[in-house]
Amino acid sequence: MLGNTFLHLSGIGPKRERQLWEKNILNWDTLEYALKTGEIKHSSILEKELSLSRRNLEEKNAAFFSERLPADAPWRLLNDFRHLAVYLDIETTGLGKDDHVTTISIYDGKELKYYVWGDNLQNFLEDINKYKLIITYNGKCFDIPFLENHFQTRFKHAHLDLRYVLKKLGYTGGLKSCEKQMGIQRKDLDGVNGYTAVLLWQEYIKNKSTRALETLLSYNMEDTINLEKLAHLCYNRLIMQTPFKNQILPVPEEPSLPFKPDLQLLQKILLKRN
């Protein structure tokens, strides 16, 4: 889809892009040809940007496109960069002054990794830099700024925040609500939310409860793997609104979690929450 995209080029918005598609100008090659033949007004700026686009796609520089696309359009990166993408979700101690990251989960479609404060959190930075595209839900407002502040760094990755993509499709609310609206059902962890995650962390710290930590990690990792399915579902619904319906992606199967939530402990925590 990226090679069919013109939204990152100067002076081309959604309406103009649609008009070009309707004229059978469907990709960078046909746009360049139309510029050279005078079918559309010649622009040296567009020619230069097309050349830059080809080079950055060849060099797998996803950030080049992410920085130039509207907030609801980086979904177009998914097909070209899905093998260099990672799904990310974090949990924290809350929203107080001294709040910090408790766990981080990342999933690249093959390997699921987790990081725990006080254990292996420092390994996260090395691992995340193996990827070109980070995919989150509400990560622009929360996860990424929080991590950048925590690690005192700036992430140079391309970023696909599914919150804006889902809004484009007409879905609003938190991640769990959007999952249900898109037909994704949770099982044992249905009803668990961010506040429950805070209580699980407190239980782990106070009582050194391995059961609490593993339940928290199960929740954190389920958020992450559900992002993959959500991203593919969004991509497919949006691609169906374009002339490029043949680019639909298969919806991935869920991997097995390395931990199982402790349902008895979870029930106790949920009662405490209520």
Each domain of the chain, given as residue ranges in start order, spans 2-59, 78-273
Name the more confident of 127 and 266: 127
Amino acid, single-letter form, for residue 205: I
Residues 199, 189: Cα–Cα separation, whole Å: 14
- Which CATH architecture group holds 78-273? 2-Layer Sandwich (3.30)
pLDDT in tens, 134-169: 999 999 999 999 999 999 999 999 999 999 999 999
DSSP secondary structure, 40-64, as one string: S---HHHHHHHHHHHHHHHTT-HHH
Contacts (Cβ under 8 Å, ≥6 apart) of 97: none
Residue 274 scores a pLDDT above 70: no
What is the pLDDT, as a whole number, of residue 96? 67
- Indicate the pTM of the whole model: 0.94
CA distance 213 to 259: 10
Whether the per-residue pLDDT at 47 is higher than 80: the answer is yes
Give the residue carrying structure tokens 């879905």. 171
pLDDT tens by residue, 85-137: 999 999 999 866 678 999 999 999 999 999 999 999 999 999 999 999 999 99
Residue 159 in contact with residue 133, Cβ under 8 Å? yes
Q: From the CB of residue 105, how many other CB atoms can be counted at a distance below 10 Å?
A: 23
pLDDT at residue number 212: 96
